[in-house]
Amino acid sequence: MKIAFFEVEKDKQAFFENVLPGVEVSFFEERLDEKTVSLAKDADILCVFVTSLVNKNTIDVMPNLKFIATRTTGFNHIDCEYAKSKNIFVSNVPAYGSHTVAEFTFALLLTLSRKMREAGQAIKENGDFSIPKTVQGFDLDSKTIGVVGTGKIGKNVIQIARGFNMNVLAYDLHPDLDFATKNNFSYKTLPEVLSQSDIVTLHAPYTKENHHLINKENISQFKKGAYLINTARGELVDTGALTFALEEGIIAGAGLDVLEEEKSFIKGGVIPLLEMPNVIMTPHTAFNTKEAEFRIAETTIENIKSFISGTPINLVQ
C-alpha cells in the first residue's frame, strides 16, 4: 500500500509517518497539480490539502488510486464525480475548527471595525501616540450581523456576536429554529439579511448551486456602508461584483480569508482587491491554530486507517 501526502511541511511529516506503520509513505511539500502528480503516479492513497488540484487529468496519472483523503472540510478542489466514476472514495474532515474559524471571523471584523491595521501603521509613521482622525472605528455593540450559513461555524459566530451584544439575523436553507429561540435571533430570506445587516458574514459550504451566492444582481441589496466577511469559500462571492461594490461605496469594507482567485497567487497573478485600503485579506488561514491542525491530522489518520481496514468513514457523498 502506497500513500502520497502533498502540502506537508517537513516538520509535520513525522507525525503521519509514525502512526501509519506497515505502509509505504511519501511526502511532498508541493501542492498536487498536473506538474507534480508524476511524483505520486504509483499511489494507492492520496492525501492533499486545500490548494491541490485533483481533477481528471491528475487522477488519470494514478492508475492504482483507490482513496483520496483531503485534510479539509471543503472538497471543491477535488473532482468528486470523476473520482466516483473511477470507484475512488473521497473523505474529508467534516469538523475540526468550528470555534477556530469563528474566532478568526471576529479577528477580521475587529481589524476592520477598529482600524487596527491603520492605527498600527500610524504609530510607525508618526513615531508617537498621536491619534489621526483616519483611525476612528465603530462599536459592534447593537450592530446587526447577518450570518449566512448556520452550521457549526455559523452557530459559534452567532454565540460570539451575542457576547458583543449584537443583533443577529441569519439565512440558511435548513433553519435551526430551536437554536434560534435559545440564542434570540431570527432567520430571514437572503435579501432581507443583506439589506438589514451592518455586517454580513459567510459560513455556507460551497456547492454548484450557491456559486456566486453574492453576485452582481444582489450585491446592490446590501445596506449601504455594510461590511462583508468571508471565511468560508471564495467561490461564494463574485469577485468582480465585490470589487464594484467596494469602489462604489455600497460596501464599506471587506475581510477576506478566501477568494475565488486564490490560485492566481500561486500562478503569480494580480488581484486588485489586495490593493484596496478598505480590504483585509489573509491567505486562507482561518483554520490555522495548533489545536485545529492537530484535529485535522488526527481525523485524517482515522480516515486513512478506516479505509485500509475496509470500513471507510467521513466519505464525501
Q: Going by DSSP bridges, is the β-strand pair 251-256/279-281 parallel, antiparallel, or unpaired?
A: parallel
Least Cα distance to 201 among 276, 287, 105 occurs for: 105
Least Cα distance to 224 among 259, 203, 188, 253 occurs for: 253
- In the residue annotation, 71 being an active-site residue is answered as no
**Residues facing 90 on adjacent strands:** 68
Q: Residues 71, 233, 235, 260: which is the catalytic one? A: 233
Q: Residues 7, 235, 260, 262: which is the catalytic one? A: 262
Which cell goes with 154?
455559523
- In the residue annotation, 262 being an active-site residue is answered as yes
Exposure string (b/e) for 118-132, b if CB count within 10 Å is 16 or more?
A: bbeebeeeeeeeeee
Q: Residues 284, 293, 298, 302: which is the catalytic one? A: 284
- Please give the C-alpha separations between residue 180 and each of 90, 147, 148, 190, in angstroms, as whole numbers: 33, 12, 14, 16
- Find all residues with CB under 8 Å of 277, minimum gap 6, and list them: none
**Residues involved in catalysis:** 233, 262, 284
